[in-house]
Structure 1
C-alpha cells in the first residue's frame, strides 16, 4: 500500500471517529484504541473513484468507502488539510457500525434472520442433540448505530464540528436536525431538531416525537478536549430542550415547556393507563422511568395518577444498584377523598386518614464475601393503603416488617445480629431489640464419628399487639403487650450409622431457655387462638381471653429430646432412555422411605406460663413417629441433573392422645411433576386420616345452602395447579383451592427438620375459615405475526356458588409502542339491596417501548432467543 493511500485511510478513519463523537456508538475505549484497531486488510478494502493532493489539502472523491474495524464510512467527497487538520466530508455522508455474535437457533429462526435486511448470516453448521433435536449454529452480523448527513466539517485538533441535516441513531433514541454543532467539550447542539425513540423518524414517519428549535446533547464530564483522548460509551448523551412540542404521527398535540432525558435512558420507558374500577371510578395512571446514573446504577419510576372518586396520587419506585448492594425505594402518597370506599373499615375500629401514603426502603449489601447486611423500613399511613391502591404488593406481604440484620460466616459457625421494631401501630409485631445469634452447623467432633450441631441466641423481645382506634366493646377482652429477655441455647449430638442397605442417625440433645419474665396466670391454646383472632385488623373486638401477667418472675426451662431417623435409598437407572416429547435424556428413579422418631419429655416449665414470641416458647411433650416416602424421577439437562418428578408423602402417628385430639396425624403430600414438554403439575394436600372432622353447612347471605363443594370430612387442605404451554406464547392454567376449618396436632423436633404444609408454625397449625374456589387462565396469540395477543381469566367461588370474576385482555404490539386493553366483570353481593351486583371494570394502557422493542428489534430478538448474547450490545 502506498504511503499516500495509508495516510488517506488514517484520515478517513479519523473522520469516522469524529462522527462517533456525535453518535455515541457501542464501543468502549478511546479513539487511540480505535486507531490501533486499524489493520492492513482494512486499507486494502479502501475504495474511491479518485484521490489527489492540492496544496496542503488531500481530496478523496467519488464513492469514497473505507471499513475500519467494525465501522464503515461512505461519502461522495472528503477534503483534509494536512497543516491545520481542517476537514470536510460532503455528499451523502453515511457511517455504520456492525456488531457480531454467534448463537444456536432453530431452522425456522435461522430462516427469519436470513431474511432481515440489516443482518448477515454466515458459517452455518448443524448438530443433533441427545434428544433428537436439530439446532443450527451460525455467526451473525447486523447494523447497529449509524449517522447520515449532507456535510460534516470541523477540525481534528480542536474537536469542533458542524453537521448539515444530520440524522443520527443513538443507542436509546434517534434524532434529526437541520444543523448541528459539536463543541470542543463534547456538547452537541442541534437546531430545528426532532427526537424520538421510534426509528421511523429517519423516514419522517415517526409514531411519536418531540420537536424543538434547539436541543442540547451532553456527554459525561471529560477533562480532555482533544478528540484522541475522548471516551465514548453507549447512550452516553443526555438530552435537554425547552419550548418543545410532542407530536403524534407528525401532528402537534402537547406543548412541553421543558424536557430532560438522562443519559443511558430510553425515551420510550413511559406509559399511560386509562380505565374504570368500581372503587376508583374513572382513573388515569401515568408513569415515567428515568435512569439517573450509571455507577452506581440509579433508576426511578415516577407515578402520577388521578382517580375520579379518590383524588390525585404521586410517587416514585426507585432502585440503586452497585456491585455489592441493591437498595429499593418506594414512596407514594394520595389525598384520598373517600377512604372508606373500598370497605367499611370503620366497622373494624380503624380510622383511615385522608392523607394516605407508604414509604419503604429495603437494602441488601454484601459487605465482604462472608458478610451480608439486610434491612427493611416500611412506614404506612394505615393498614389498608396497599390493599386499596397496590393490591399485588398487599397480597405479597399484607403486614410488612421493619428489621435490620447482619450475618458473618466463619469456617465452622456463623454470627448474626438482628433488630426488629414496630413503626406502624396497626400491626402486631414481635420486637427484638436486639437479637444476637450464633449457629454451628452439623460437624464431626475430632474424627470420632459423633457429630455436633448447636445454636446460641440472646434477645430482648417485646410483643406489641395491634392498636385499634376504638376500644373493644364493653365486657370483652383487650390485648395487653408483654416483654422479656430470653436466652436460648440448643445442643445436639448425632451418631450416623450407614451401610449399603440403610442409614440410621440417632440423636440426643437439649434446649435450655431462660426468661426474665413469665406469667403467673395460665394462657392456654384457646386463649392464644382468641388473642390472634382479636389481633386481626378486620374484627369487631368481641373476644374473651386471658392475658399474660408479669407476676411469674424469671424462670429457666429445660427441654430434652431423643430420636432417630432411619432411611434407605432404592434406585434404578435407564441410561439409554431418551424422548424429546417427555424431555428425557436418561432416567433415574430414586425411592427414599424414612422413619423419624421424636420424643420430648415434658419440659420443666409449662408453656401456659411462658410468654409466646415464637415456636421456641411453645415446646411441649412430643412422642410421635413420622413415616415418609420421597420419590424422585431425574434426567439429564446438559451437564446438570434435574427432577422430572418430586413427591413426598408423610404421616404422623402419635403415641398418646392430647387434648381430645386423635393419635393419628394428618397425611401430607407434596408433588411437583413436569409431565412432558410444556405440561407441569404442582399440588399439595392434607388428609385427616382419622376422619373425625365436621363439615358444617354453608350459609349464603343468611340462607342455608347445605354442604357445598367437596364437603369431605377427611380432606383438610388441597391446592393444585396445572399449567400447559403447547407452543410459543400459548399458556393454559387451571387451579383449584380447598381449605376447611381444621386443627392439627403439633409434630415438632428440635434436632431435625420436618416438612409441613400450609403453616408457618409447627404448633399453631389450624384454620378457622372455609374457602373453595377454582380458576382458569389462558394466554394466546391472535395473529401469526406475534404482535397481537389475547388472554382470558375466570374465577369461581364454590362456597358462594357464583362466578367471582371473569375478564378478557388484548395486547397489540406496534413498531415502537404497545396497546393493552382489559375488560373485567366482578360479581359482588349488595347487602343493603340483598341482591347481586355486576361491577364492570376496564382499562386501556399505552406504553412506549422505544428502539429496543423486544418484538420488533433484530438485536433484541437475537438476545432473547439465542443461546449467546451479541457482543458489546447494551439493552
Structure 2
C-alpha cells in the first residue's frame, strides 16, 4: 500500500509539473550526454576571451535531447577553452523573437529566453545552405547586445513574454543586413572601389523586407563591405541595382510590376519602365459610436466596405524621386485589378507619396474613363488611398416619369483638395441633374471632436416642374432644405443637443428626399439640455417650428406645431422609501406654448366653431396663442411578491395649471378663458407571474432538441374616476391636455417555446414560437388617448392585440404581428401575416397580407435570388385588393377599387471590387415609373434583406 501511494504521489507530481517544463530545463542531468546542436539559415561566429560566440539568424533552432527551441535569432556563448580543461562544457543561449520551447508534446511561447546548457559532447553547428561566416572582431548586433545585457545580470535563466526593448551602448552601430542572391548563374568582378555582381536566370533577391524577382539583375556593392565572392550572401551597403525581364518587387503592402527597374539605393532614386505600382487600402481606426442616437450618428464609417481594396498606378515611365516619392507622366489610377480595368483616371502628371500613415496620390488634368470611354474631367485630384478615400463617393443615373432622365452624384471635396480636415470632418458635395425639374446641389458637412459631433445637410433646387405628387401645383420655384444637428458632452454630466431645420414647403421631403421622409424623425428646431444622475434627470427644452407646418404632411393642409418656448422638466424614477417597501416616481414640468389653437383633430372635435370649421372661415383664434402650463404627476407604488406572483399596486395624482382656458360659459367655445387648473387622481394595479417547464421532445424536420415553455400571465388595471376640469375647456397641445376620466383593464399572456439548435457542443437557444396576447377593455367607454401624427387620437372599442412568430427551422419563419381584433364587432381591425423563407446567400422569399378594416387589403410578394457568383435578382410587389377612396370632393360617399401600390425589380452584377445594379420601379402612388443604374463598393451590400410591411 505504501508503494502504491508513493507511485501515485510521483505520478501526480509529474503531471502537475508538466506545464512548467521550461522552469526545470537545467535540472535534467542526463541532458549533458546528448549532443547540443545549433542550426539556422545564416550563422556567423567570432572568438573573444576564450569564449566562442555563434550568431544564428532566421529560422534558428537549438536542440539537446528532448528539448528543442526555435526562434528568429539565437546567440550561443560556448566556453571553448574551459571545455578543454574540464569534462563538461557550458553553453549559454539567448533566443529572441517568436520563441517556442518544445519538450516532447508540450510547448510554450516567449519573446525572450536565456538558458544555460551543459554538454559532454561539444556543440554541433549546422547552417542550412550557406557556410559559416567568420569575423575577427565582435559584431555588435542589436539582439546580441540585448543578450549580453541579460547575461551580465548573472541569472541562471530568463523567460519573458514581452517584446525586447532596444539596448543602447557606446559601441553600438547599425549593422547592414545581408542580401540573399539566388540565381541559375552568378558572376562577380571588381571595378575600382566597387564590386559588380551579375545574376542571370530565375533571379531572386532578398533584402530586409524587400523581395525582387527578375530574369536578370545587376548589383553594385561597395568593395570594402563585400565578403568572399564565392558566397551567395552579399553584405550591404548596396549602392545600385538594375533588373530587367518580368520584374516584380514586393515591399510591405506594395507590389510593383515592371519591364525594367534601375534604382540608386543610397539616394532612394530611380526609374521604372512599363511599370505598375499596386498599394493596398489600409483599414483606419474604428470609431466607437455606441449609444449615439440615429439622428446624430456619424457618417464616417459609411464606406468601411472599401477596406483592403487595391489601388493601381500605371505608366510607361515612373520616376522614383525620393524615399516613398514617385512622379508619373501620362499615367492612370484605378482600383480595378484587371489588365484592362473597367474604370480608371488618366492624368498628365501624377505624384505618389508614401509614408507610414498615408499613401497620397495627386494628379493634374484628369479624365475619368469607363472602359475606353471618357465620361468626366477633373483638373486636380488628391487621394489618400491608405485612408480608403474616394472622390466619387456615390452615384446613380436613370430615368423617371416624374423627373425625366436623372443622374445623382456625391463628391468628397476633401479628397479632391487633399485637405487635412479629414481627421475631424467630412465634406460631401451633392450634384444632381433632373431633366424635368432642374439641377439640385447641396453640401453634407460632418464633424467630430473629443466630446462632440454633428452634421450640416443642405440642398437647393430651382424647380422647373408644374406639379408635385397627387397633382398638387408647385407654388415656389426655389425649393430646398437645411438641417443642422449637433451633440456635445458638457461638464457636470450635461449633454446638449441642438437641431435647426428649414424646409421651403411641406411637400419637399416627400418629393425629393423620400427615404428621409419615411425613416427619419420629424424635422424641428430644438435646443435640449439633459443631466442625469442615478434615478434623477433634469431637462431643458426649447422647441420652435420655423417652418410653420408639419413636415410629415403630404398635402396643402398645414398642421401647426406645439412649440415649447421653453419647457423645464424634472424626473424621479423609482426612488425607494420605507426600506424599499414603497417606490416614488414623479415628473414635473413648466411649459410655455406659443402656437395657433388649430392643433389637432381632438381640438377640432371639442371646438369646431373656434377654428372655423362649421362656418367655413378661420377666425382670429387661429393666430398665435401663448399659454403657460404647469404640470406635475407623482406616483407611489407598493410592490410585493407573495409566492410566485409580482404585484404592484399604485396611486397617482396629476395636477395641471393653465394661464388661459376656453370660455364655454355661454354655450359657445371662445378664446380668452380664465386662468384654470385641474386634478386627475388615478389608481391602478400591475400583476404578473412567470412559469416555465421543459419537455423531452425531439423532431428532425423542425430541428427541435427538447422544448422549454415560458408562460407569463399579466394584468393591468388603471382607473381615473374623475377630472376636475373637462378637456373641452382646455387648449389641446399634447396627450396631457386630452386626459379624461377613464377605466382601462388589460389582460395579457406571453408564451415562448425555446429549443436548442446548432452543431453538437455548440448548440444555442433559439425561440421556436413567440405568441403574445393582450386584451384591452374600457368599462366606461372612455378609451385610450395617445398622440398621433395629426393630433390626439382615441381608441374606445375593446380589442385584442396579437403577435405571433414561429421559426419552423433554420430556413422557414411564419410571422403575424401588430394584429388588432375588435371584440365588440367581432372582427379584425388590423390583420397581418406572412411567411419568410431564407437560405442565404442563394435565395430568400416572402409572401404576406395586411388587412386594415375599411381602408385596405394589401398583399406583398418579395424574392431575392443569387443566380451565380456574379449575378443576383430581387423583385417586390405590393398590391391593394381593397383601396377605400372618396367618391366626391366632400368625401361623403366612398368606393373601393383594386390598385397596384408598387412594383420593383433589381438586377445586380458583382464585379471584383464593386456591385452594379439596375433598378426598375413602378410607383402609381407617386405617379412615377423609373429605372436607374447605380454602383457601390461590394462591402456595402447586404447578404440578406428583411421583407416585411
TM-score over 0.5 (shorter chain): yes
Indicate which of 858, 861, 872 corresponds to 1:776.
861
Residue 190 of structure 1 is matched in structure 2 by 328
Q: Give, in whole Å, the separation in 2 of the partners of 1:591 and 1:261.
A: 59
The verdict on how the C-alpha distance between 1:459 and 1:473 changes in structure 2, with shifts beyond 3 A counting, is closer
Residue 209 of structure 1 is matched in structure 2 by 344
Indicate which of 234, 237, 248 corresponds to 1:94.
248
Residue 436 of structure 2 is matched in structure 1 by 309
Q: Give, in whole Å, the separation in 2 of the partners of 1:51 and 1:499.
A: 96
1:305-331 deviation line (CA, Å, top 9, x unaligned): 222221111223454455655423322
Q: Give, in whole Å, the separation in 1 of the partners of 2:795 and 2:525.
A: 40
- Contact map agreement 2:781 2:797 (CA 8 A) in 1: no
The verdict on how the C-alpha distance between 1:493 and 1:217 changes in structure 2, with shifts beyond 3 A counting, is same
The verdict on how the C-alpha distance between 1:291 and 1:669 changes in structure 2, with shifts beyond 3 A counting, is farther
Of 287-296 and 399-408, deviating more is 287-296
Q: What pairs with 1:278-427 in structure 2 (closer than 5 Å)?
A: 278-289=401-412, 292=415, 296=423, 298-321=425-448, 324-346=451-473, 352-365=475-488, 371-397=494-520, 399-427=522-550
Q: Give, in whole Å, the separation in 2 of the partners of 1:206 and 1:52.
A: 42
Secondary structure (helix, strand or coil) at the match of 2:839 reads: coil
Q: What pairs with 1:104-503 in structure 2 (closer than 5 Å)?
A: 145-149=254-258, 150-154=260-264, 156=266, 162-172=271-281, 173-182=311-320, 187-200=325-338, 203=339, 205-218=340-353, 231-233=355-357, 236-250=358-372, 255-263=377-385, 264-267=387-390, 269-270=392-393, 272-289=395-412, 292=415, 296=423, 298-321=425-448, 324-346=451-473, 352-365=475-488, 371-397=494-520, 399-427=522-550, 428-464=560-596, 475-477=616-618, 479-503=622-646
1:803-838 deviation line (CA, Å, top 9, x unaligned): 333343322223344432233445579xxxxxxxxx
The verdict on how the C-alpha distance between 1:788 and 1:828 changes in structure 2, with shifts beyond 3 A counting, is closer
- Contact map agreement 1:145 1:169 (CA 8 A) in 2: yes
Indicate which of 837, 841, 851 corresponds to 1:724.
837
- The structural deviation recorded for 1:490 is 2.2
The verdict on how the C-alpha distance between 1:171 and 1:621 changes in structure 2, with shifts beyond 3 A counting, is same
Residue 847 (1) aligns with residue 935 (2)? yes
Larger Rg: 2
Q: Give, in whole Å, the separation in 1 of the partners of 2:767 and 2:514.
A: 34
Higher relative contact order (CA 8 A, sep 6+): 1
Residue 824 of structure 2 is matched in structure 1 by 690
Indicate which of 563, 572, 585 corresponds to 2:684.
563
Q: What pairs with 1:707-722 in structure 2 (closer than 5 Å)?
A: 714-722=827-835
- The structural deviation recorded for 1:512 is 2.2
Q: Give, in whole Å, the separation in 2 of the partners of 1:299 and 1:616.
A: 42
- The structural deviation recorded for 1:356 is 0.9
The verdict on how the C-alpha distance between 1:281 and 1:614 changes in structure 2, with shifts beyond 3 A counting, is same
The verdict on how the C-alpha distance between 1:565 and 1:825 changes in structure 2, with shifts beyond 3 A counting, is closer
- Contact map agreement 1:456 1:488 (CA 8 A) in 2: yes
Indicate which of 779, 794, 801 corresponds to 1:655.
779
Q: Give, in whole Å, the separation in 2 of the partners of 1:421 and 1:559.
A: 29
Residue 668 of structure 1 is matched in structure 2 by 801
Indicate which of 726, 735, 738 corresponds to 2:851.
738
Q: How large is the RMSD of aligned CA atoms in angstroms?
A: 4.3
Q: Give, in whole Å, the separation in 2 of the partners of 1:437 and 1:819.
A: 51
Q: What pairs with 1:6-155 in structure 2 (closer than 5 Å)?
A: 46-49=180-183, 57=194, 62=199, 63-66=203-206, 72-74=211-213, 76-79=217-220, 81=222, 87-91=239-243, 93-96=247-250, 145-149=254-258, 150-154=260-264
Q: What pairs with 1:560-599 in structure 2 (closer than 5 Å)?
A: 560-574=681-695, 582=702, 587-599=707-719
- The structural deviation recorded for 1:384 is 1.0
Q: Give, in whole Å, the separation in 1 of the partners of 2:165 and 2:320.
A: 25
Residue 23 of structure 1 is matched in structure 2 by none
Q: Give, in whole Å, the separation in 1 of the partners of 2:687 and 2:375.
A: 75
Instruction: Please give the TM-score of this superposition, normalised by the length of structure 1.
Output: 0.68
Q: Give, in whole Å, the separation in 1 of the partners of 2:650 and 2:331.
A: 78
Gaps of 5+ in 1: 10-31, 99-143, 220-230, 525-545, 692-712, 742-769, 830-838, 856-860, 866-875
The verdict on how the C-alpha distance between 1:583 and 1:383 changes in structure 2, with shifts beyond 3 A counting, is farther
- Contact map agreement 2:846 2:862 (CA 8 A) in 1: yes
Q: Give, in whole Å, the separation in 2 of the partners of 1:476 and 1:73.
A: 87
- Contact map agreement 2:540 2:567 (CA 8 A) in 1: yes
The verdict on how the C-alpha distance between 1:282 and 1:369 changes in structure 2, with shifts beyond 3 A counting, is farther
Residue 535 of structure 1 is matched in structure 2 by none
Q: Give, in whole Å, the separation in 2 of the partners of 1:548 and 1:644.
A: 59
The verdict on how the C-alpha distance between 1:359 and 1:658 changes in structure 2, with shifts beyond 3 A counting, is closer
- Contact map agreement 2:688 2:714 (CA 8 A) in 1: yes
Instruction: Please give the TM-score of this superposition, normalised by the length of structure 2.
Output: 0.63
Secondary structure (helix, strand or coil) at the match of 1:170 reads: strand
- The structural deviation recorded for 1:382 is 0.8
1:338-389 deviation line (CA, Å, top 9, x unaligned): 142433335xxxx631011111122344558955443332211111112112
Secondary structure (helix, strand or coil) at the match of 2:728 reads: helix
Q: What pairs with 1:479-558 in structure 2 (closer than 5 Å)?
A: 479-521=622-664, 549-553=671-675, 555-558=676-679
The verdict on how the C-alpha distance between 1:45 and 1:77 changes in structure 2, with shifts beyond 3 A counting, is closer
1:61-114 deviation line (CA, Å, top 9, x unaligned): 532333857x7554634445589967333215534368xxxxxxxxxxxxxxxx
The verdict on how the C-alpha distance between 1:449 and 1:669 changes in structure 2, with shifts beyond 3 A counting, is same
- Contact map agreement 1:378 1:400 (CA 8 A) in 2: yes
Q: Give, in whole Å, the separation in 2 of the partners of 1:522 and 1:631.
A: 53
Q: Give, in whole Å, the separation in 2 of the partners of 1:460 and 1:381.
A: 27
Gaps of 5+ in 2: 1-41, 46-53, 59-141, 144-162, 167-175, 226-235, 282-310, 551-559, 600-611, 785-793, 884-896, 945-949
Secondary structure (helix, strand or coil) at the match of 1:725 reads: strand
- Contact map agreement 1:522 1:608 (CA 8 A) in 2: no
Of 408-417 and 86-95, deviating more is 86-95
Q: Give, in whole Å, the separation in 2 of the partners of 1:523 and 1:570.
A: 59
